[in-house]
A and B are shown apart, each in its own frame.
Chain A
Amino acid sequence: MSQSTTDNSPGGAMLTGFLRADGRKGIRNTIVVAYLVECAHHVSREVVYPFRERSVHLIGFGGCYPNSYSLTMMKQLCTHPNVGAVLLVSLGCEGFDRGTLHAAVAASGRPVHTLVIQQEGGTRRTIAEGQAWVERTRAALDATPRVPMAVSELIVGTVCGGSDATSGITANPAIGRAFDLLVDHDATCIFEETGELIGCEHIMAGRAATPALGDALIATVEKAARYYTVLGHGSFAPGNAEGGLTTQEEKSMGAYSKSGGATISGIIKPGDVPDTSGLFLLDVVPDGDVRFGFPNINDNAEIAELIACGSHIVLFSTGRGSVVGSAISPVIKVCANPETYRRMTDDMDVDAGRILEARGTLDEVGQEIFTQVLDVARGTATASEALAHQEFVLTYKVFEPVGPSCHPHTQGA
């Protein structure tokens, strides 16, 4: 998908990006500063602070105990195509496998440096060292040339948060229209929230590229249903019926409508980069017994997983009004509710709620989202980027690799 020579973007305009050694291209050239335990968080934040509007972002993992999921996530985030260089900040005695992470970033061809606070001589010296490294590295990265990039090389994720009764009838289906346009241009799209898909797994299976993938999609949602049952949280709440939703499948369809109408090409898990273009379901619910609590503790945990799967941009549907952005990849906020949009205009990118006021159709808003994706890929700042939102969270999880039926393209090829 990275070798497309046709100009497949509307208006005839190609994108440009930053070419990485693995062949992937980024739409941003960010320096990531990553703390490897909460004890190194403050020092890392102080390193980033003077550069926070110069594309230097803070990420990290707070836990002291090692965990293969968090290591995979950190590797994939630090070698994301939007990332140009990485500074790792360790306290020194935490359990995180910093040597493996450092080696993975170095192997990707990116500048990488590890500071160990206990060896540097404490807070003040580490901050000074870190800021000096970031200043030098930022200057070098700013000289990086851009190369041509096709729309087909984009990976776009979607998530919803702060949903209300309008989400499923405006922003979500409009994102679905934009996903259809992106898939038509051979881009890669990722949707998730399997816990919100309970009741539409059979509908979803009907869109699978193969029958075996359809079975795997159903199993993925059944896993989510079991997980949430153990946690004591069903999906359909009484307030849903008071808002006009009648059945479980109708409620889930509201979230599911973000996926549009394209054939589903495969299932991925956090940190898996899709092996082909098309539409993918990201299975966010851990495997095995319930451990470590909720699958995703908040919207940014989901956004971080979409980015770890290679998303260059995340489309965020909100009705009640979320303000978040993310480290590493721009977040485009699609506001479902026109009242919320008027109240929080500065935080929103797309006024999808205008559909409710007959000021636009789903197709028009879908086309606008698609156009914004291309503009943001070309460098236009999203609302949350302009406001310096760079939220990030990463917690403990456990995953098994996906089965062979989850990626039929490579298996059948």
Chain B
Amino acid sequence: MAFDPRLIHLHPTDNVVTAATALLAGAPILLGGGSVTPAESIALGFKVAARDIGIGEKIIKWGVPIGSATAPIAAGAVVHLHNMQSDYLPTFTLDGERRYVAEHH
């Protein structure tokens, strides 16, 4: 599969790619089968769905599951806390007041 050079496909079985640079909303990116136009900007290091991913499906990066989809994810969409979760333990982030909060789904 051919990917945009600005996207890193770490392993052949991965269903997400990693942004190697900041990608702007509205600018098309090449994703394996074809071109998609992300609706949102994507920062360096963030994951992008390499294809459509169904709810409950494993998110595969480096060839291994790093969690599961909690919502349907369209090819080209950012994959992060809002649409996937750990299969292992909750992810803690800082809320607006810099307190630890667990992400629940």
Interface of A with B (CB < 8 Å)? 165-166, 169-170, 173, 199-200, 203, 234, 236, 238, 241, 243-250, 253, 256-257, 261, 355-358, 362
Nearest Cβ in chain B — how far from A320, in angstroms? 14
Contact of A253 among B44, B61, B91 (CB under 8 A): B61
Tell me which residues across on chain A come within 8 A of B45, comparing CB atoms.
Answer: 165-166, 169, 243-245
Tell me which residues across on chain B come within 8 A of A173, comparing CB atoms.
Answer: 10, 62
Known contacts A248-B88, A248-B91, A249-B87; A165/B62 CB under 8 A: no
Contact of A169 among B10, B65, B67, B89 (CB under 8 A): B10
Tell me which residues across on chain B come within 8 A of A244, comparing CB atoms.
Answer: 18-19, 43-47, 80
Interface of B with A (CB < 8 Å)? 5-6, 8, 10, 18-21, 43-47, 59, 61-67, 79-81, 84-89, 91-94, 100
Q: Whole-angstrom distance between the alpha carbons of A253 and B65 in the complex?
A: 10
Known contacts A169-B8, A238-B100, A253-B61; A247/B66 CB under 8 A: yes
Most buried by A among B21, B66, B85: B66
- State whether B64 touches A253 (Cβ < 8 A): yes
- State whether A247 touches B6 (Cβ < 8 A): no
Closest partner residue, chain A, to B8 (CB atom): A169
Contact of B5 among A199, A246, A261, A358 (CB under 8 A): A358
Closest partner residue, chain B, to A253 (CB atom): B62
Q: Whole-angstrom distance between the alpha carbons of A253 and B100 in the complex?
A: 23
Nearest Cβ in chain A — how far from B102, in angstroms? 11
Q: Whole-angstrom distance between the alpha carbons of A169 and B45 in the complex?
A: 8
Contact of A358 among B20, B80, B93 (CB under 8 A): B20
Known contacts A246-B79, A355-B20, A356-B21; A241/B66 CB under 8 A: no
- State whether A246 touches B84 (Cβ < 8 A): yes
Contact of A199 among B8, B81, B85, B86 (CB under 8 A): B86
Nearest Cβ in chain B — how far from A158, in angstroms? 15
Q: Whole-angstrom distance between the alpha carbons of A247 and B68 in the complex?
A: 10
Tell me which residues across on chain A come within 8 A of B79, comparing CB atoms.
Answer: 246
Q: Whole-angstrom distance between the alpha carbons of A243 and B92 in the complex?
A: 14
Nearest Cβ in chain A — how far from B49, in angstroms? 13
Q: Whole-angstrom distance between the alpha carbons of A244 and B22 in the complex?
A: 12
Tell me which residues across on chain A come within 8 A of B62, comparing CB atoms.
Answer: 173, 253, 256-257
Known contacts A246-B80, A246-B81; A238/B86 CB under 8 A: no
- State whether B92 touches A236 (Cβ < 8 A): yes
Known contacts A236-B91, A244-B46; A200/B86 CB under 8 A: no
12 contacts between A and B (CB under 8 A): A165-B45, A166-B44, A169-B20, A199-B89, A244-B19, A244-B80, A246-B80, A247-B87, A247-B91, A248-B86, A248-B89, A249-B86
Tell me which residues across on chain B come within 8 A of A247, comparing CB atoms.
Answer: 66-67, 84-88, 91
